Amino acid sequence: MGFTNKVQLITYPDSLGGGLAALHDVLRHDFPGLFPGGVHILPPFPSSGDRGFAPLDYERISPEFGTWEDLQRIGAGTPIMLDVMVNHMSRQSAPVQDFLSRGSASPYADMFITPDKVWRDGPPSEADLARLALRRASPFSRYRVGEDGREVTLWTTFGRQDPSEQVDLDWRSPAYRRFIGDVLQGLHRRGVSLVRLDAIGYVVKKPGTDCFFVQPDIYEFLRWIRGLADGMRIEILPELHARPELQEALGAEGYWTYDFILPYAILEALLRGEPSLLRRHLGRRSPRQFTMLDCHDGIPLKPDLDGLYDPASARAVAQACGDRGGNFSRIVSPSHRDPDGFDVHQIRCTYYSALGESDERYLAARAIQLFAPGVPQVYYVGLLAGGNDAEAVQRTGEGREINRHNYTRREIQENVRRPVVRKLMDLLRFRNTYPAFDGSFRILPAHASELKMRWENGRDACTLAVEFPAGRASIEYLDRSGRTVSDLL
């Protein structure tokens, strides 16, 4: 089963009710039929860090979340998408631990990347290191290996600790290829038909480059893994935060991509009253994309919008979100920041809080997302129009926790009764069921401070009109009797 033109939910396994069994009940009783496009469950596997993104293995569901049977019950009603971290695995995983224990005698020894695998003529120069697209201060960690405890340097793109909990993998290694093949086979065996390839931009390491989405090598990797997935009837979604031209190149190769430009473009239009960036983007984007407003990391800015955003507007939008309690992830590499030093990678803030917790603006933002061509994905906090969780940030010291609140069943039921959530659920049902969304899309002429989006499919037609910055929005459509219905959000 591939991706369908219906709404998909993204959630942690324990964020809606406390576990997978509770999630199944919540989907049945609180959001029945709302997500026929699927449920993207963020990593439910045993993990040693990064809230699931440092996996120990893919054979087990972490007992705190439930079982494979719980996950398969959810999958009986809607497709399931899971992540495969193609770039790294946990330091505590069996392959890494075997290598740290046995060194070169380990059958997994060739899975990991030492600097000499990349720079074969000697250690990397300062210029080489300055060129790298970094996610932490250093791309390397040192580990003690073997009985003699000798120190070995391994590539570690991610991780807050030193040495890192997330160890990078060498995709050219036979052991890696066997490992990924086994992972996909295991997911296929359990009925998982949709897989997101997490952190794919960092897979290829090559001297003389920034080691990020290295072309054409990355397409060799993608062709290999797509060949595996196609043989198991698994649809893959590469996850790539990159400059617009790299996303476009990936899409031109026939892959689904994320529209990471849309969230900021909508936010800027509603906060600044200037929809020109949004209008330009909607007029040129590919329909073969996943749309989103929020996610477990943040609202993308750099490098996803490099060359597109106005620097003054970007600073003003970021400042507005900061004033409402948000925080930021930053570009680590100096060479990848703007010349004036602007370095916001992602804005960490719930979308509802970013818009000043205005129901009107929030529903307008969601309506724009749902009218944009592609597969709409709604993050669970956004589904409940959640506000910033400042207490979680203070408790954990992790800025991303601001948009990762875990809802109890009682909290879910209370939020579902809020008018903004009820209206959003109505919007999602309309997006899932109205036939025009399977037809053709266009932007209609409008005043500079307005946006009009229209879908047509035979006799069925619907138009969204939004005024900026107020966020006043209305949907006009033909019902089954041919009568024109106008609905003010």
Catalytic residues: 198, 239
Neighbouring C-beta atoms of residue 485, cutoff 10 Å:
11
Quick one: how far is CA 445 from the chain centroid?
32
Is residue 348 classed as helix, strand or coil in its secondary structure?
strand
For 88, list phi and psi in degrees, rounded to 5.
-160, 165
What backbone torsions phi and psi does residue 376 show, to the nearest 5 degrees?
-75, 130
- Residues constituting the chain: 489
| Angle (deg, nearest 10), helices 311-323 and 262-272 | 80
Q: Tell me if 450 sits within 8 A of 463, measured CB to CB.
A: no
DSSP assignment of 365-388 equals HHHHHHHSSSEEEEEHHHHTTPPP
Q: How far apart are the first and last CA of the chain?
A: 34
Alpha helices in 108-163, H assignment, sequence order: 115-118, 126-131
Q: SS3 for 185?
A: helix
Task: Determine the residue type at 394.
Answer: Q
